[in-house]
Amino acid sequence: MRIAVVGPMHPYRGGIAHFTEIIVTGLADRGHDVRPVTFSRQYPKLLFPGETQYEPESEAPPAVRDAPRPLDSINPVSWFRTGLHLRDQVPDAVIFQYWMPFFAPAYGVIARGLRRHYGIPSFAVVHNALPHERHFGDALLSRFFLCACAGHVVMSDAVATDTRRLAGAGASLEQIEHPVYERFGEPVPDDEARAALDLPDDAPVILFFGFVREYKGLHVLLEALPDVLGDRPDLHLVVAGEPYDDPERYRRLVRAHDLGARVHWHDDYIPSSDVPTYFGAADLVVQPYVSATQSGVAQIATHFETPMVVTDVGGLAESIPHEEAGFVVPPENPDALAAAITRFFREDWAEELTDGVRKRKRAQQPARLLEAIERLVAKHAG
C-alpha cells in the first residue's frame, strides 16, 4: 500500500519523533510505499519548555532523511498546503501521530479535507487522547481530530477508554502493547557505563530517565530516597533529563534531605548515542509518575532488559506486571516507593525480574504495531 505518515521526525527530538521513525522505517521494510511528512515548525519557541526542539545529533535515519516539511502547527495556510501535498501523493491512507490537543486543529483540518474532497481516509496512532496536564478545551479539540479519523491504534486501556469516549462508541480501534524502542542499539557494559558517569562499580544504581515535569514524580522519588538510603547507604540515583519545569524545586529537596552526594542530575537532553550508557549503568529504572497514560521510558528500559519500579497510573502496570517485570506501587506514596526499591536490592530480585522483562520484550516487538496499522488501513481504505 502507499501510506503517508504525518508526525515529528528528525530533526525533531524525543520519543514521539523516534516512534514516527519506527512506523516509517518498519512499514517501508514490510514493502509499503511510505511517504513521510513532518513539521517546518512543531511548537512556537515561546510554548516549548525545553532549550531546543531539535536532536543534537545530525544523522537522520535513511527512511526520513528527505521527508518534506510543509506543516506549521500554528499557520493555517500551511495546513491546506500540507493537505494538498498529501493529496498529490495519492496515498491509500494517512497515518497521524497524535499526542496532545495542541495539534488537533491542524490535524483535524487536514484529515477532514482529505476525506471530504478526495476520499482519502486518515488514521491516528494515539499516544494520549488527552494530555497529562489538562486544560480547558482539551476534550473538544481532541474530539475534532479523532472524529475525523477512520480508525485508531492505541497502546493502553486508559488511552483506549479516552479515545472511545471522544471519537464515539463505534470508533474502530486496534489496541496493542507499546513497542520497544530498538533504535538505541546494545547497552554499554555496566563497568564502562559507570566509569563514563563517574559512578562506583559495586554500588546499587537507580535511574530516573526522561524530561522532568511534575507529573513524572521526581519529587516523590526524592522524598522516598532518604528511607532507601537508610537501608542501602551506598545507593546512587542518576537523574537523566532536561527540566521542563522549575528545577529549583527538586534541588531544594536534594538540599533538604542532604542527598547531594547520592543524586547525580544530568540536566540536559540525553542524545540517542548516550542512552545506552545510562541504562547500562542502572540496576533499576524508577518511574514514580503521578499521572500517565503510558511511557516510552518503560519501553526503552524493556529494550535494555532493565527491571523497573512504576506507579499504578494509566497503562504503566499493564506494561510492567507486578513481581514479573518490576514492582508496581501506588502513586504519590514515598513510603511505598522506598519500600519497593529497598525490596529489590535486599531480596535480590534482579535476576528474576530481568527474565520477566525479557519475556515482555518479546511481546512488545514493533511488528505488532505495524500489523495493527495494516489491518486498519486494509479494513477502511479498500
Summarised one tens digit per residue, pLDDT across range 172-181 is 999 998 898 8
Question: What is the pLDDT averaged over residues 275-286?
Answer: 96
Q: Which CATH architecture has domain 190-363?
A: 3-Layer(aba) Sandwich (3.40)
CATH 3.40.50.2000 domain locations along the chain: 2-179+365-380, 190-363
Question: What is the pLDDT averaged over residues 79-97?
Answer: 97
CATH topology of domain 2-179+365-380: Rossmann fold (3.40.50)
Q: Which residues contact 96 (CB under 8 A, 6 or more apart)?
A: 6, 7, 107, 111, 122, 123, 124, 125, 145, 149
Checking if the pLDDT of 271 tops 90, the result is: no
Checking if the pLDDT of 25 tops 90, the result is: yes
Question: What is the pLDDT averaged over residues 375-380?
Answer: 92
Region label for 212, one of left (φ > 0), alpha (ψ between -120 and 50) or beta (otherwise): beta
Give dist(CA 97, CA 221) in Å, integer.
31
**With b meaning 16 or more CB within 10 Å and e meaning fewer, what string describes 316-355?**
bbbbbeeebbbbbbebbbbebbbbbbbebbeeebeeebee
pLDDT for res 269:
87
Checking if the pLDDT of 225 tops 90, the result is: yes
pLDDT for res 58:
60
pLDDT for res 350:
96
190 pLDDT tier (thresholds 50, 70, 90): very high
pLDDT for res 119:
95
Give dist(CA 56, CA 64) in Å, integer.
16
Helix (H) or strand (E) holding 280: helix 275-281
Helix (H, G, I), strand (E, B) or coil at 209: strand
**With b meaning 16 or more CB within 10 Å and e meaning fewer, what string describes 138-175?**
bbebbbbbbebbbbbbbbbebbbebbbbbbeeebebbe
274 pLDDT tier (thresholds 50, 70, 90): very high
60 pLDDT tier (thresholds 50, 70, 90): confident
Only one residue has cell 495539534, namely: 103
Phi and psi dihedrals of 53, rounded to 5?
-90, -5
Question: What is the pLDDT averaged over residues 340-356?
Answer: 97
Checking if the pLDDT of 310 tops 90, the result is: yes
Checking if the pLDDT of 170 tops 90, the result is: no
- Percent with pLDDT over 70 in the chain: 98
Give dist(CA 16, CA 211) in Å, integer.
13
pLDDT for res 382:
60
Take residue 365 and report the three cell numbers written for it.
516487538
What is the pLDDT of the chain when averaged over all its residues? 92
57 pLDDT tier (thresholds 50, 70, 90): low
Question: What is the pLDDT averaged over residues 193-203?
Answer: 95
**Partners of 126 in the beta sheet?**
98, 154
Question: What is the pLDDT averaged over residues 242-254?
Answer: 93
- Name the DSSP class of 152: E
pLDDT for res 212:
93
